[in-house]
A and B are shown apart, each in its own frame.
Chain A
Amino acid sequence: MTNGWVDIKNADVILAMGGNPAENHPVGFKWFIEAKKVRGAKLVVVDPRFTRTAAVADFYAPLRPGTDIAFLLGLIRYALNNGRYQEDYVRIHTNGPFIIKNEYSFNDGLFSGWDPNTKQYVKDSWGYQADPKSTAYGVDPTMQNPRCVLQLLKQHVDRYTPEMVERICGTPKDKFLKVAEIVTSTHPANRVGTITYALGWTQHSTAVQIIRTAAMLQLLLGNVGMPGGGVDAFRGHSNIQGATDTAGNTEILPGYLKTPQGQFQTLADYYKAAIPMTLNQQAWPSMNYWVNYPKFMVSLLKSVYGNAATKDNDWGYGWLPKIDGNYSWMYIFDDMYRGSSMRVGGKETGPEGFITFGMNPVGLGPNSKKMIAALSKLKWMVVVENAETESATFWKAPKEYGGAASSQIQTEVFMLPAANFAEKDGTFTNSARWLQWKWKALDPPGQAKMDQEILSRLFLAVQNLYRKEGGAVPEAVLNVTWAYANPVNPDLAEVLKEMSGKALGDIKDPKDPTKVLKTAGQQLDGFGQLQDDGSTLCGNWLHSGVYTEAGNNAQRRSTADPTGLGMFHNWAFSWPANRRIMYNRASADANGQPWDPTRVGIRWDGAKWVGDVPDMKPDAPPGTYGAFIMLPEGVGRLFAPALNDGPFPEHYEAVEAPIANPLHPKVTSNPTALIFKSDQDSFGTVDKFPYVCTTYRLTEHFHYWTKHQAGGVLNELMPGFFVEIPEPLARQKGIANGSKVKVSSARGAIEGTAMVTNRMPTLKIDGKDIWHIGFPIHWGYAAEKGHTGPLANFLTPSVGDPNTWTPEYKAFLVNLEKA
Chain B
Amino acid sequence: MTVQALEIKRSSAAMWGTKTGLREKPVVSKYIDTTTCIGCKACEAACQEWNDLKTVATHQEGSYQTLPHLDADFWNLIRFNEREVDGGLMWLMRKDQCMHCAEPGCLEACPAPGAIVQYANGIVDVDPSKCIGCGYCSTGCPFDVPKFHKKTGKMAKCTLCVDRVEVGLEPACIKACPTGCLQFGSKEQMVAMGNARVSQLKGAGFQDAMLYDPQGVGGTSVVTVLGHGHPEWYDLPRDPHVPLLVRAWKSILRPLGVLAAFAAVLGVFGHYATYGPKEPPEGDAGGEGRTK
The reply to whether A30 and B178 form a contact with Cβ atoms under 8 Å apart is: yes
Give chain B nearest CB distance to A251 CB in angstroms.
Answer: 35
Instruction: Please indicate the chain A residues that have their CB under 8 angstroms from the CB of B178 in the complex.
Output: 26-27, 29-30
Instruction: Please indicate the chain A residues that have their CB under 8 angstroms from the CB of B61 in the complex.
Output: 719, 737-738, 753
Which one of A30, A56, A719, A757 contacts B180 once the chains associate, using CB atoms below 8 Å? A30
Binary CB contact string for chain A from 8 to 40 against chain B (1 if under 8 A, 0 otherwise): 000000000000001100110110011011001
B5 interface residue, CB < 8 Å from A? no
The reply to whether A713 and B179 form a contact with Cβ atoms under 8 Å apart is: no
> Can you give 26 A-B contacts (C-beta < 8 A)?
A22-B40, A26-B40, A26-B179, A27-B178, A29-B178, A29-B179, A36-B36, A37-B36, A52-B38, A52-B39, A54-B89, A55-B91, A699-B39, A713-B45, A714-B45, A716-B56, A717-B58, A718-B58, A719-B65, A720-B59, A722-B60, A738-B60, A753-B62, A755-B62, A755-B63, A759-B91
Give chain B nearest CB distance to A142 CB in angstroms.
Answer: 42
Binary CB contact string for chain B from 85 to 97 against chain A (1 if under 8 A, 0 otherwise): 0001111110000
Instruction: Please indicate the chain B residues that have their CB under 8 angstroms from the CB of A53 in the complex.
Output: 38
CB-CB under 8 A for A719 and B60, given A37-B36, A56-B36, A713-B48: yes
CB-CB under 8 A for A719 and B58, given A30-B180, A759-B91: yes
CB-CB under 8 A for A55 and B39, given A717-B45, A757-B82: yes
Instruction: Please indicate the chain A residues that have their CB under 8 angstroms from the CB of B55 in the complex.
Output: 711-713, 715-716
Instruction: Please indicate the chain B residues that have their CB under 8 angstroms from the CB of A722 in the complex.
Output: 60, 62
The reply to whether B60 and A29 form a contact with Cβ atoms under 8 Å apart is: no
Binary CB contact string for chain B from 41 to 62 against chain A (1 if under 8 A, 0 otherwise): 1101100110001011111111
The reply to whether B179 and A719 form a contact with Cβ atoms under 8 Å apart is: no
The reply to whether B40 and A60 form a contact with Cβ atoms under 8 Å apart is: no
The reply to whether B89 and A759 form a contact with Cβ atoms under 8 Å apart is: yes
Instruction: Please indicate the chain B residues that have their CB under 8 angstroms from the CB of A767 in the complex.
Output: none
Which A residues are within 8 Å of any B CB, using their own CB? 22-23, 26-27, 29-30, 33-34, 36-37, 40, 50, 52-56, 58, 60, 699-700, 711-722, 737-738, 753-759, 786
User: How many positions in chain B have a CB within 8 Å of any CB in the partner chain?
Assistant: 40
Instruction: Please indicate the chain A residues that have their CB under 8 angstroms from the CB of B58 in the complex.
Output: 716-720
The reply to whether A50 and B179 form a contact with Cβ atoms under 8 Å apart is: no
The reply to whether B38 and A758 form a contact with Cβ atoms under 8 Å apart is: no
The reply to whether B41 and A700 form a contact with Cβ atoms under 8 Å apart is: yes
B64 interface residue, CB < 8 Å from A? yes
Within 8 A of A (CB), among B63-105: 63-67, 82, 84, 88-93
Instruction: Please indicate the chain A residues that have their CB under 8 angstroms from the CB of B60 in the complex.
Output: 718-722, 738, 753
Q: CA separation between A700 and B60, bound complex, in Å?
A: 14
Q: CA separation between A55 and B66, bound complex, in Å?
A: 18
The reply to whether B66 and A717 form a contact with Cβ atoms under 8 Å apart is: yes
Instruction: Please indicate the chain B residues that have their CB under 8 angstroms from the CB of A755 in the complex.
Output: 62-64
Which one of B57, B89, B92, B93 contacts A60 once the chains associate, using CB atoms below 8 Å? B89
Instruction: Please indicate the chain A residues that have their CB under 8 angstroms from the CB of B93 in the complex.
Output: 52, 55
Give chain A nearest CB distance to B101 CB in angstroms.
Answer: 27
CB-CB under 8 A for A758 and B49, given A33-B179, A717-B41, A786-B57: no
Counted as pairs of residues, one from A and one from B, with CB atoms less than 8 Å apart, the total is 111
The reply to whether A22 and B45 form a contact with Cβ atoms under 8 Å apart is: no
Minimum CB distance partner of B53 in chain A: A713
Instruction: Please indicate the chain A residues that have their CB under 8 angstroms from the CB of B48 in the complex.
Output: 713
Q: CA separation between A24 and B45, bound complex, in Å?
A: 16
The reply to whether A719 and B39 form a contact with Cβ atoms under 8 Å apart is: no
Q: CA separation between A37 and B179, bound complex, in Å?
A: 11
The reply to whether A758 and B82 form a contact with Cβ atoms under 8 Å apart is: yes
Q: CA separation between A58 and B66, bound complex, in Å?
A: 26
Give chain B nearest CB distance to A665 CB in angstroms.
Answer: 33
B35 interface residue, CB < 8 Å from A? yes
Minimum CB distance partner of B227 in chain A: A56
Shortest beta-carbon contacts, A-B, top 3: A720-B60, A738-B62, A737-B62
The reply to whether A718 and B90 form a contact with Cβ atoms under 8 Å apart is: no
Instruction: Please indicate the chain B residues that have their CB under 8 angstroms from the CB of A717 in the complex.
Output: 41, 44-45, 58, 66
B199 interface residue, CB < 8 Å from A? no
Give chain A nearest CB distance to B204 CB in angstroms.
Answer: 7
The reply to whether A55 and B62 form a contact with Cβ atoms under 8 Å apart is: no
B207 interface residue, CB < 8 Å from A? no
Binary CB contact string for chain B from 178 to 218 against chain A (1 if under 8 A, 0 otherwise): 11110000000000000000001000100000000000000
Instruction: Please indicate the chain B residues that have their CB under 8 angstroms from the CB of A756 in the complex.
Output: 62
Q: CA separation between A54 and B91, bound complex, in Å?
A: 8
CB-CB under 8 A for A33 and B89, given A53-B38, A716-B58: no
Give chain A nearest CB distance to B190 CB in angstroms.
Answer: 16
The reply to whether B89 and A719 form a contact with Cβ atoms under 8 Å apart is: no
The reply to whether B38 and A29 form a contact with Cβ atoms under 8 Å apart is: yes
CB-CB under 8 A for A719 and B66, given A26-B179, A758-B82: yes
Give chain A nearest CB distance to B91 CB in angstroms.
Answer: 4
Instruction: Please indicate the chain A residues that have their CB under 8 angstroms from the CB of B89 in the complex.
Output: 50, 54, 60, 758-759
Give chain B nearest CB distance to A32 CB in angstroms.
Answer: 8
Minimum CB distance partner of B204 in chain A: A40
